[in-house]
Amino acid sequence: MPVLINALIAGLALGAGASAALWFLYLRPLRDRLTTELANARVIVDTASQGIVTIDEHGSILLFNRAAQRMFGYSLAEALGQNVSLLMPAPEREHHDGYLQRYRHTHEKHVIDKTREVTGLRRSGETFPIELSISAVEAGGRLLFSAILHDITERKRLEERIRHMAHYDELTDLPNRALFYDRLKQAIALARRQGDRIALIYLDLDRFKPVNDHYGHHTGDLLLKAVAQRLRAGVRESDTLARLGGDEFAVLLQSVNSLRDVAAVAEKLSDSFSAPFPIDDLMISIGASLGTSIFPDEADHADGLVKVADQAMYLAKARQQAMVAEVDDAYYHASHDPSQAE
């Protein structure tokens, strides 16, 4: 660019009769000012926090600022003159030259002057999300395209984290109540179309509250995480195990062939509590009460299935508590019966 400025000013000077006064008073200050402005512009572009890439109408890279170099992992020397498709993964790489050709012929702005999200390709082969804005300009009779690029990897991670938190339990990383109900409704709709059965198992922990009260919430949280790990081993990958809140869990079984299948899974889940849970230096023994419901046998909608399984679970818990009370009562009377004394 300084060469072009010097040539322009030299031409003006010759056309004006190479007057020394004209040169010193007007043309040299103009050259110096233009050179300074050009240098300032280069500094601004090169120190911008956004990646800036300029290409010609054939896709060759003409400008590749420092932020773009850090973003993609290519040095300036490596990038200049290369086709910009170097920075794109397949299939965008194969189609890019066609996009440029169509724009040259039609000038239809499908992506020009718009902000959109695309995928970039680093030198290492890693892909990453980019927010991209492209503008087209004509300079010196040439059509140029300039892009401003933002690496939005961290933003995407934060968005994914927020989405995950909205649908998964923070403690156990199991689907939460909202996601469970969504999957339950989808499963019912699919089962209704295909004439299948699905089953719901509700599970409530026994003796969890005394553990939580006696040893504290930290131990209670560790116990819930350990319970979730054991329950995972008792269900198929195609089924959904969820924590509904507190010490309540639920399992959605897809494509149930028979009631025996449901009973087998329920028994496997119950067996998860046969051994104590090692928590820190403690060995904690708890149990669980289970209730089941079958679609469409016992209910034909989500709320109905949940209600039936919930009622069955509380009946099981009441029976378990009654059995414990009977055992305690029998032990009390036996220990106070004079006829049992030696």
Q: What is the phi/psi pair of residue 287, to 5°?
A: -125, -170
State how far the Cα of 20 lies from the Cα of 97, in Å rounded to an integer.
51
Euclidean distance between the first and final Cα of the chain, in Å?
113
Among residues 298, 290, 286, the alpha carbon closest in space to that of 314 is found at 290
Among residues 287, 191, 306, 197, the alpha carbon closest in space to that of 242 is found at 306
Report the catalytic residues: 247
Length of the chain: 342
Q: Do 112 and 13 touch, CB atoms closer than 8 A?
A: no
**Residue 249 in tokens:** 């869990």
**Residue 265 in tokens:** 């899974």
Rounded to a whole number, what is the largest CA-CA distance in the chain? Answer: 137
State how far the Cα of 93 lies from the Cα of 174, in Å rounded to an integer.
39
151: Cβ–Cβ under 8 A, 6 or more apart, which residues? Answer: 51, 71, 120, 128, 129, 130
Among residues 243, 254, 253, 246, the alpha carbon closest in space to that of 177 is found at 243
Pairing of strands 240-245, 282-284: unpaired
What's the distance, CA 9 to chain centroid?
A: 57
